Amino acid sequence: MIVRDELSLRRTWPQLSKRLMQLLLFDTVVAGLYSALDFTWVSQPIPLAMMGAALSLFLGFRNNSAYDRWWEARSLWGGLVNQSRTLARQALTLVDPQGDDRAGPEIVQLQIAYVHALRCHLRQQNPFAELKTLLPAQIVAKLRGQRNVPIAILLTIGQHLRQLFAAKRIDSIRFTSMDNTLSELCNLQGACERIKNTPLPRQYEYFPRVLVGMYCVMLPIGLVGSLGMLTPIVSSLVSFIFVALETIGRDLESPFANAVSDTPLTALTNNIEINLRQNIGDPALPNEVRPVHGFVY
């Protein structure tokens, strides 16, 4: 996620440079043909203002849809933060103590592993490099055969709750309360998977790119009659606006792609782990994830 106040041109230029340089070359050719070679036919009365207004509305609608996906992803992970804290509190306060038993801390440790596994699941990364440092070897071995590792961890937590209920260390009311928390975690994960696995309709990806390209090609043809050799400058500036708007929509529509504009899952899971480890009195806290050059992942 971008947290800096200003965007570096060095960061944004590589995404835009190829298309803009091609358009600048075309603009220069049109201006040269009209001004130097007197090819007046390259100037045509194109209704640029009307077309630009319609294209702006289309891009705005598409970008709003992409932003809604980005914001929903962030809201869902806000819910995951809250439900993780709730499950930790329930595990540490609702389970009747029994000697030096660590049933509560074990559930908290499983929840820490769950959020890390979910982050890797959404980013299509291998979670076991982290899980083997968080969970016992026998649990990690069972998880290796699972296609959906986060769901398997939730099942393991549910099995722990069933054992505690059978041992009468939680009653039916407390069991139901904690199971409802697991259900809410499952619902939040399902919503994240829906965003991950259901992209915006391909028409939203294809037509903005094509229409922006067509409009930018028509710009110098409609402007050269009044601007002459200044056409490449003005046309390139207007093209930059529309190409940038189209690029913004593509950046936002996939909030779990592990790019600079995505939901900062690494920072969020790190924050959850710190909170939950402090709840169980674990002094081995991970380092806090901080922005690097204005970006947090």
Query: What long-range pairs does 160-167 form, CB within 8 A, spacing at least 24?
Result: 160/103, 160/106, 160/107, 160/110, 161/107, 164/95, 164/103, 167/98
Look at residue 151 in the predicted model and tell me its pLDDT: 95
Look at residue 181 in the predicted model and tell me its pLDDT: 95
> Could you tell me the pTM of the whole model?
0.85
What's the CA gap between 62 and 198, in Å, rounded?
Answer: 15
Look at residue 155 in the predicted model and tell me its pLDDT: 94
Look at residue 199 in the predicted model and tell me its pLDDT: 82
Q: Which residues contact 276 (CB under 8 A, 6 or more apart)?
A: 84, 85, 88, 108, 111, 112
Look at residue 149 in the predicted model and tell me its pLDDT: 93
Instruction: Name residues of the chain where pLDDT drops below 50.
Output: 3
